[in-house]
Structure 1
Amino acid sequence: MTQISSRPSPFDIVGFDLDGTLLDTSGDLAAAVNHALASAGRPALTVDQVKPMIGGGARHMLAQGMAATGGCDDATLDRLHRLLLDYYESHIAILTRPYPHVLAALDDLAARGARLAVVTNKLEGLARKLLGALDLTARFDCIIGGDTMGPGNAKPSPKPIYEMLARCGGGTAAFVGDSIFDIRAGRAAGLPTIACSFGFLMQPVAELGADAIIDGYGELVPTLERLAARPA
């Protein structure tokens, strides 16, 4: 388990993706996808089938779910997307929980003086509602969603990462995520990146191109320390 230290944080700012990184949201997201699929007369998908579809936002996730069950046109996708969002908002934290040792790692970083942030492709309103439902909102200095920066500016664009840096007051930073969207965004913004091997992987974690990989949150702070100690 992560031990809280009095040493300074290795980075001034540590940013995190949400789904598949801080929180295991797979059960609730799969339920929302299946609600939309059922309304279109499609068969349900398992949680394991839905996991690799998560990361690019709800519409992207649903589009993959529809493709896996027969495809659909844009108008149908738009209608089902609204159904999915409404269902998810009403059932947002039924099964969702933080990954093991997340809270201890966040406590450790905060005690060392790090500013913590969430940068997710989930809609900002849903991200805030979910974090609020789990009593986690106050732990973060900023929360940026997939719609915060406007259309076309979600990860893998670096724009939400730059916004994170600005809102947190600047300084050294690292980004933690579980998808290619996360790692590409972090790297495009010039940040060292950490990939979570336990997340909703679309491909083998080693193929994401992250600077480091963690298998659990007990490894996060030591990994950040190693990255911060690397020669510039």
Structure 2
Amino acid sequence: MNGFPFAIVGFDLDGTLLDTLGDLAAAVNHTLAQMDRAPLAEAAVRPMIGRGAKHMLEEGLRASGGVPDGAVEGLYPELLRFYEAHIAVHSRPFPGVVAALDGLDALGVRTAVVTNKLEGLARQLLGGLDLADRMATIIGGDTVGARKPSPEPIRAMIERCGGGRAVFIGDSIYDVMAAKHAGVPSVAVSFGFLDRPAGELGADHVIDHFDELVPLLARL
């Protein structure tokens, strides 16, 4: 391990590893169009991301005119269908992600993804961007029967990676809470899909660019 203090580095997906806003907003707006609703700006969709697609759809309905009875359950399959068919049109790794993963690989660190996105969609998205094979495990919102902010997905990540000291990187209060409840340090990214300033998430550390990650972790 070359003296590096962490055996496992876990990442949230949307808004942390990947900028997926364009594709998620497109899926929301496609679904809203089924109800003849006007599209939402990407800036309006941004804070809706982080608790899974069903929550995002519900918030999109609320922001565009209200949530009729049964609308979320009725429209959710169409949102998933559209998103799966257009999952990586605009989505890209945030600047510095690939170099950070390269640096962690060189140190013998196991990397993982823990997301509230469905595991199948997470694997499809990461695979489409040639990142899936770099992860020791990928845990989705439907993988272990619990979602962030529950600590169970983080605990499952550590177990599946073979144990050892872990740290978790994310962009939401759910990421920070999951890490804290699992007893691992947290790092917030200031460029993610934030619903508040990164410094207010309660993370142990904040980074403004992925170039800062490996040097920060080396000091902890």
For the aligned pair, the TM-score class normalised by the smaller chain equals: over 0.9
Query: Any residues of structure 2 matched to 1:86-101 within 5 Å, and which?
Result: 86-101=81-96
- Find the aligned partners of 1:124 and 1:71 in 2 and give their Cα distance: 29
Corresponding residue to 2:172 among 173, 179, 182: 179
Corresponding residue to 1:124 among 119, 123, 129: 119
Aligned residues: 220
Task: Give the aligned residue type for 2:29.
Answer: N
Instruction: Compute the displacement of 1:225 (Å).
Output: 2.0
- Answer yes or no: is 1:207 the counterpart of 2:200: yes
- Find the aligned partners of 1:63 and 1:11 in 2 and give their Cα distance: 38
Mean Cα deviation higher: 74-83 or 136-145: 74-83
- Answer yes or no: is 1:73 the counterpart of 2:63: no
Q: Percent identity?
A: 60
Q: Secondary structure at the match of 1:118?
A: strand
- Answer yes or no: is 1:198 the counterpart of 2:191: yes
Contact between 1:15 and 1:173, CA under 8 Å: does it hold in 2?
yes
Q: Secondary structure at the match of 2:125?
A: helix
Corresponding residue to 2:110 among 106, 115, 120: 115
RMSD: 1.0
- Find the aligned partners of 2:69 and 2:150 in 1 and give their Cα distance: 24
Task: Give the aligned residue type for 1:15.
Answer: G
Contact between 1:19 and 1:55, CA under 8 Å: does it hold in 2?
yes
Task: Give the aligned residue type for 1:18.
Answer: L
- Find the aligned partners of 1:91 and 1:214 in 2 and give their Cα distance: 30
The answer for unaligned runs of 5 or more in structure 2 is: none
- Find the aligned partners of 1:119 and 1:48 in 2 and give their Cα distance: 24
Contact between 1:9 and 1:109, CA under 8 Å: does it hold in 2?
no
Residue 27 of structure 2 is matched in structure 1 by 32
Task: Give the aligned residue type for 2:28.
Answer: V
Corresponding residue to 1:149 among 144, 148, 155: 144
The answer for unaligned runs of 5 or more in structure 1 is: 1-5
Residue 51 of structure 2 is matched in structure 1 by 56
Give the TM-score, by structure 2 length: 0.98
- Find the aligned partners of 1:213 and 1:222 in 2 and give their Cα distance: 13
Task: From the superposition, tell whether residues 139 and 8 of structure 1 become closer, same or farther in structure 2 (CA, over 3 Å).
Answer: farther
Q: Secondary structure at the match of 1:220?
A: helix
Residue 15 of structure 1 is matched in structure 2 by 10
- Find the aligned partners of 1:139 and 1:9 in 2 and give their Cα distance: 19
Instruction: Compute the displacement of 1:74 (Å).
Output: 4.6
Task: Give the aligned residue type for 1:133.
Answer: G
Task: Give the aligned residue type for 2:211.
Answer: G
Task: Give the aligned residue type for 2:101.
Answer: L
Query: Any residues of structure 2 matched to 1:214-229 within 5 Å, and which?
Result: 214-226=207-219, 228=220
